[in-house]
Structure 1
């Protein structure tokens, strides 16, 4: 079971990377239908198939490289879906982790629905962002499933509110990154640390309206004005600063406190990944969002999420170990008292 979960986690990372690659190469509508491509299970290749495809979708001439980017992403996503359903079936049959197994199936079905809506609604930003968050949620759920299968969580434990707060802050930042990408705002600001323009005088809250009006048949290449895109980009940068500061302080405090070696090690990894992510963000600005760096920026955000989840789970697992040690000591002293009555 654990090998299957590891395979699913690795596959989920690949799917997230391919999703970012598809989005960044403007291939989200490389196939204008779903789940196939121009009515076929593979990208049309022969002259006859290409002619038939372009007659069926005259508004969207076939661009083979974009179509293949989209279909490869779908193939891997479909494989992940089948693997998740299989793992859930095994878990239900063994009566293990039934809640998380059912949740994983529900999430993968919902994620497939979002994938369909991404195409059928013409890259509507709220759907694109939701699809990105769904992919991150699937990865997080599978990783949590793997961790708790290795060691159970304690019950009635005081929640690690600072860890949960850090997780919430990071999720907001990931959502802002998704909104920036979905609205094609990645290169709207070319200066550091915020923007080359006087963005404070033209900050537009309506840039975050969930249902912006589209200017054609779809939302491809964005519908927001230049000032609105600057607003989105600057907000993403400001919250990135908040996220980096909070996570750095959180990790350093965990390292300095009397925690287990596991927790301190995971906190150290969080700092490393955080610094890598900040560096990739700066590189995106300086080098105008090169494809490799932008994809790495997405994947590093996923790694940050996994680092925080591992810390949250470690908090509850360490409580489990502490409870077991206390119980073992009580049993030991009880045996001594019974063996040597006063």
Structure 2
């Protein structure tokens, strides 16, 4: 065997071992990108760099605080893009015959390209709410698919998927998790719609509306729609958690149930605080970031409750 063929054989397992790590770091970086993007929005620095892809016609922005706040979002986007395209490249080279790896990796890369173009258009059009809503929707799809990729490649979640299968035979828990995850994504979209339509303070009380005097009926309806979807997600999540806690054969599912419960309680608290405290910046940023994390947790749980795949990753991990 030639030295070149030996080098190829050694290089490929290394790329396969990198894939689960890169899946984790890509998801973490993308959630941080959501956090930074939220900071840019709530601080009013969405046009800190008024042009795109440059900033004031420069590769490095001038010394304005607003420009650097917005430019930091572009830096995180660059870091996330490198990792996401890296995942796609490894999947194309090493997992071309394994669709459960290849399709999510290529899908998230395609969504990222659309998101980059939309982000530039959003700046050029001076941040209209319509492109902002689509921008948020695409961002959360990217976060969700990365969470799916993480769940299917990271060793702890693959082991949990295998151990959980006997507990899930002849149950409808996976279907309930699917509905809950879909409702969670809808909740993110309605939250973005409320924010970008100016309906965040259309209702000033909780749990009842207590409509603001200047709020139109449409804004009140949008605000209450978000609350209704939030209540639906909370109810579905409580159902999922209760069901998992009854499955006494798998402690891993119990741990996920506890994590989901904690995330739900904090997220509901942040949503209420946004209304009663009149939208403080900190809770607004955390509300969106935790929403992305909660959505990711449900996607991971959805993957765990499905049949675990990953023959190539398992052999590499072993």
TM-score range, shorter chain: 0.7 to 0.9
Task: Check if 1:122 corresponds to 2:121.
Answer: no
Give the one of 189, 204, 207 matched to 2:203. Answer: 189
Equivalences for residues 88-103 of structure 1 within 5 A: 88-95=88-95, 97-103=101-107
Q: 1:221 maps to which residue? A: none
Distance 1:170 1:294 in 2: 18
Contact 2:187–2:230 (CA under 8 A) maintained in structure 1: yes
Aligned partners of 1:265, 1:86: CA distance in 2, in Å?
31
Structure 1 partner of 2:242: 252
Q: Which string of whole-angstrom CA distances, capped at 9 and with x for unpartnered residues, describes residues 105-149 of structure 1?
A: 101101112211211233222321121122222122112112212
Shift in alpha-carbon separation, 1:319–1:83, aligned structure 2, 3 A: closer
Provide the C-alpha distance between the structure 2 equivalents of 1:182 and 1:22, rounded to a whole number of angstroms. 14
Paired with 2:65 and 2:280, the residues of 1 have a C-alpha distance of 18
Counterparts in 2 of 1:292 and 1:143: CA distance versus 1, 3 Å: same
SS of aligned partner of 2:32: helix
TM-score (norm 2): 0.79
The match for 1:163 is 177
Q: Which consecutive unaligned segments of at least 5 residues does structure 1 have?
A: 46-63, 200-223, 321-342
After superposition, the Cα gap between the structure-2 partners of 1:191 and 1:12, relative to the gap in structure 1 and judged at 3 Å, is same
**Partner SS state of residue 316, structure 1:** coil
* Shift in Å, 1:319: 10
Question: Is residue 269 of structure 1 aligned with residue 283 of structure 2?
Answer: no
One of 3, 15, 38 as aligned partner of 2:56: 38
Whole-Å separation in 1 of the counterparts to 2:145 and 2:296: 10
Tell me, yes or no, if the aligned pair for 1:129 and 1:175 is still in contact at 8 Å.
yes
Q: Distance in 1 between matches of 2:292 and 2:258?
A: 17
* Alpha-carbon displacement from aligned partner over 1:258-297 (angstroms, at most 9, x marks no partner): 5522222212211111011011111111211111111111
Give the structure 2 partner of residue 315 of structure 1.
305
| Structure with greater contact order relative to length (CA < 8 Å, sep ≥ 6) | 2
Aligned counterparts of 1:313 and 1:259: Cα–Cα separation in 2:
19
Query: Alpha carbons of 1:77 and 1:4: their partners in 2 closer, same or farther (altered >3 Å)?
Result: same
2:32 counterpart (10, 14, 28): 14
Matched with 2:135 is: 131
Give 3-state SS (helix, strand or coil) of 2:256's partner.
helix
Matched, 1:70 2:70: yes
Cα RMSD over matched residues?
2.6
Alignment counterpart, residue 232 of structure 2, candidates 224, 230, 242: 242
Are the counterparts in 1 of residues 147 and 296 from structure 2 also a CA contact under 8 Å?
A: yes
8 Å contact from structure 2 (residues 152, 309) kept in 1: no
Where is the helix percentage greater, Structure 1 or Structure 2? 2
Larger radius of gyration: 1
- Cα contact 1:263–1:314 (8 A) shared by 2: no
Q: TM-score, normalised by structure 1?
A: 0.74
What is the match of residue 84 of structure 1?
84
Shift of residue 36, structure 1, vs aligned partner = 1.5
**Structure 2 CA distance for partners of 1:297 and 1:287, relative to 1, 3 Å:** same
* Distance in 1 separating the partners of 2:84 and 2:46: 24
Matches of 1:101 and 1:319, distance apart in 2: 15
Kindly state the Cα deviation for residue 187 of structure 1 after the two structures are TM-superposed. Answer: 2.2
Deviating more after overlay: 127-136 vs 167-176: 127-136
Answer yes or no: is the 8 Å Cα contact 1:267–1:311 preserved in 2.
Answer: no
State the distance in 1 between where 2:181 and 2:26 align: 22
